[in-house]
Structure 1
Amino acid sequence: MDIKNIRQEMALLDDVIPLEGHHYAACLQTYEAASSQRKLILEWFTNHVIPQIPRDSASFLSIGCGAGELDVKILAAAKEQASTIAYVGLEPDSKQCERFTASMALPSDQNIRVETLNTNFEKYTEQRRFDRVLMVHSLYYMNDPERAIEKALNLVNESGKLIILIASNDTLNELSSSFWQMENGGSTWFSEDLSKHLDKRGVAFDRHRIKAKLDITSCCAPESEQGIRIADFIAQAPTGELPPGLRTMIFSYLEATSHLDGEMRWLPHNVDAFII
């Protein structure tokens, strides 16, 4: 099964319903549970980011923080390094904001201040500067990635860093980019695009590859709810709303491009971490 065949079938569609709301959150949770990436990202933050934050007072801005599953662990690690912490989460989805607030709630810790802002990054107008600005898998959703990067850099203080985690454009993301292009009328950025942009602008950065795997075994089981959610998140569209032929092609593509390890089928789920 070739991605070109899927794109040809997609070209026949009038429209694609985007993945959003409660279904998006459910698919994201299932997708992340099937991947080793979250644990490896936390290990990378613990080894490469947290040791470099100021020891007296540290501030974070997490752009596209979601429900805060990663942020709460980053905060816990930062508590071991800094005496006081200000942590701001920025998220456009109100339900995800509520989950972030609940996840980050700490019992009367006077040395930690957590704030949640329910807004798009494009509409964020505050001028506070931070020690660390985090964009973990959020650059894809920016209408203008170049402008978003410049804006994020302007929110970093003199000794601070912008941390961007973004996937490489490998087999796993060919489906995502195809559907993103149809839904949004343009292509999304991956790590290769970010690297080229920073090189062009003469911006210095360090780049680290975090190698992970996504277990798609359930995607090969007929009518598996877990498999459907994983496929929906990969495609960034509810596959059940697609024509049956196209839906079958998507699941066949995932199986054909996967690696078999015993009874487990997996796809590389790598992410590149940029320190700017």
Structure 2
Amino acid sequence: MASTPRPTPTPYDTDKYPKTLKVFLDHCGQRRCKSAFIQDILPNILSSIGNGKSQLNVIGVGSGAGDVDVEMLTQLHLKHPWARLDYETVEPSRHQLRKFRETVNQNSHFDFVKFTWNEMTDTEFEEHWKQKNITKKVDFIHMVEMLYYVKDPEAAINFFHSLLDKNGKLLIILADEVCSQVRVSKVVQGQLCQEYHPSSALSIEVIKSLLDARGVVYESYQLLSTVDITDCFTEGHETGELLLDFLTKVQDFSKRASPELRREVMTVLRDCSVEKDGRVMANDSHSVLIINALD
């Protein structure tokens, strides 16, 4: 039986996580797929929110360094150029939040947005919202690949869904069941530090089941992508080890895992990959859910 890795620190509290994330993004097609969706499909979805209001309220949950947020805000402004945007950012990483703020400060064209920077987790934000007895409704909320780190994804979705105004939209992006991240996480899930990665093997299919059970109306779009994991098969390769850290959501995975567990993970990665031009390309498919406001 594979031995249990020592508890891993939360990625939000380490300097290594941004580097790990960058390596992953540099080796996959996620950015291209997300950008294509934001530029080609999202504008039509955003056109129906607000109903001509002079101010649109927006929340980004788990915004990270704001790369996706910036693209979405730009498209929202193009669709509603007359509206001011009141934007709440919910992000627990001080490092990532600082990068987001720097990006905004360096771009004067974001003067149509009023930013509120919340260095909080989703649960802390919910407590803050309720303690302050905030009653404003929100026109657009996005949760991009952050539900893996949430202790109760269903509760998080229910809370933010309840904040939507009439015609409001909640956007969720999450990995598909066949994605290499989900399949690898299932192998190591029981040996992860659940305090930090309680939903590491969560897939979009699970979220759809939860929504279907409640009769919630949503639209679904698939983002087909791959990630180059060739370097993962060279033990000790810096890039490969960082990719493994990201895919397993365990910092220093190869040092913490037993040889048996590492071999099992590599077998799973090989099974969900294809070879192309001498490179090993793993499945990295994700889906987008667009959830309508409650009736």
Q: Structure 1, residues 139-190: CA drift from partner, whole Å, max 9, x if none?
A: 1211111111110101211110111111112251222234344321765431
The corresponding residue for 2:160 is: 152
Residue of structure 1 aligned with 2:66, choices 61, 64, 68: 68
Following superposition, the deviation at residue 240 of structure 1 comes to 3.5
TM-score, scaled relative to structure 2 = 0.82
Q: Report the number of matched residues.
A: 267
Per mean C-alpha deviation after superposition, the further-off stretch among 13-22 and 199-208 is 13-22
Q: Report which stretch shifted further, 42-51 or 107-116.
A: 107-116
Match of 1:36 among 26, 29, 44: 29
What is the Cα deviation at residue 222 of structure 1?
4.0
Residue equivalent to 2:219:
206
Distance 1:103 1:181 in 2: 38
Correspondence 1:175 to 2:168: no
- Alpha-carbon separation, structure 1, partners of 2:220 and 2:63: 21
Q: Which moved more, 1:226-235 or 1:166-175?
A: 166-175
Of 30, 42, 56, the residue aligned with 1:58 is 56
AA paired with 1:103? Answer: T
Q: Give the equivalent residue in structure 2 for 1:265.
A: 280
State the distance in 1 between where 2:19 and 2:92 align. 17
User: CA–CA distance in 2 between the matches of 1:207 and 1:243?
Assistant: 36
Letter in 2 for 1:175: V
Structure 1 Cα separation of the partners of residues 202 and 226 of structure 2: 21
Provide structure 2 residue ranges, at least 5 long, that are not aligned to the other structure.
none
Segments of 4+ moved more than 6 angstroms: none
Conservation of the 8 A alpha-carbon contact between 2:184 and 2:269: no
Instruction: Verify the 8 A CA contact 1:57 1:82 in the aligned structure 2.
Output: no
5+ long unaligned stretches in structure 1:
1-7
Assess, with a 3 A threshold, how the Cα gap between structure 1 residues 195 and 257 changes in structure 2: closer, same or farther.
closer
User: How far is 1:60 from its partner?
Assistant: 2.0
- Answer yes or no: is the 8 Å Cα contact 2:139–2:168 preserved in 1: yes
| TM-score relative to the length of structure 1 | 0.87
Gap change, CA 1:78 and 1:215, over 3 Å in 2: same
| Seq. identity, % | 21
**Aligned-partner residue type, residue 6 of structure 2:** D
What residue in structure 2 maps to residue 129 of structure 1? Answer: 137
Q: Give the equivalent residue in structure 2 for 1:193.
A: 206
TM-fit CA distance, 1:256: 4.9
Specify whether residues 14 and 271 from structure 1 end up closer, same or farther in structure 2 by C-alpha distance, changes over 3 A only. Answer: closer
Distance 1:102 1:160 in 2: 29
RMSD between aligned alpha carbons? Answer: 2.2
Structure 1 position 73, deviation (Å):
2.0
